[in-house]
Structure 1
Amino acid sequence: MKDWDAYSAGLRTQGKALSTLHPDLVKGFAALNQGAAAARHLDAKTRELIALAVAVTTRCDGCIDAHVRKAKHAGATREEMAEALGVAIALNAGAAFTYSLHVLDAAGE
């Protein structure tokens, strides 16, 4: 398994390097994240559980790292995370099923 603390430290180091090379890109990304984190109708824990499900479906290790930390901070339990991940797994299977139907449609009769 991955050493998530070392991985996170490496991301921060590379993020600083990218910020030096392309500061406007990093500022824009930070602004996007800040806007998405604004609490209007969902609490922080719910947003983080959604983020974890999305992180799994997009296969983003950096997202997993960041949002596990944020979910824990927001009070999410491992059981709640597992339930959110169950939704992600079901959707991924559903997407594979749906796109399999696309293949059959494209292949014709």
Structure 2
Amino acid sequence: MSTFNHHDLMRDINASLAPFRKTQGHAMTGFGQLAKAAITDGALSAKHKELIVLSIAVTQRCSGCIGFHVKALVQLGCTRAELEEMLSVCVYMGGGPALMYAAEAMAAWEKMAPAEPN
């Protein structure tokens, strides 16, 4: 399994963006509001929307996004089966490169999700 550390990556991204958040507060507030509005339950649940977001992160090869959105999915009660099914669609649409990032998403899941009962 991958030794990629999403916790450290997310911490480093947040630390690197802290000054940007201060100097570009209006833009960052707007981005945060957009993210919250986009993920809010509607015709699709927040969990389903986060699965879509993570699929985009995998196919666009964004490691930071993978970390943040796996964490969100864990908090929303996503199951490993739901994650794996979504990742299979990513591989279908994104081929080999998506498969490599699917492995990264699975590694992040393994580190962040509580163990599921068998």
TM-score where L is the length of structure 2: 0.71
The residue type equivalent to 2:33 in the other structure is: A
Consecutive unaligned residues of structure 1, counting only runs of 5 or more, are: 94-109
Equivalent position to 1:43, from 42, 45, 50:
45
Equivalences for residues 59-70 of structure 1 within 5 A: 59-70=61-72
Partner of residue 57, structure 1: 59
Q: How many aligned positions are there?
A: 93
Deviation at 1:10, TM superposition (A): 0.9
Equivalent position to 2:90, from 71, 80, 88:
88
Inter-partner Cα distance in structure 2 for 1:61 and 1:29: 19
Consecutive unaligned residues of structure 2, counting only runs of 5 or more, are: 96-118
Question: Residues 67-97 of structure 1, C-alpha deviation per residue, up to 9 Å, x if partnerless?
Answer: 101111111122211110111111113xxxx
Report 1 or 2 for greater relative contact order, CA contacts < 8 Å, sequence distance ≥ 6: 2
Partner of residue 71, structure 1: 73
Deviation at 1:9, TM superposition (A): 1.0
Which one has the largest radius of gyration?
A: 1
SS in 2 for 1:46: helix
TM-score where L is the length of structure 1: 0.77
Runs of 4+, deviation exceeding 6 Å:
none
Inter-partner Cα distance in structure 2 for 1:80 and 1:34: 22
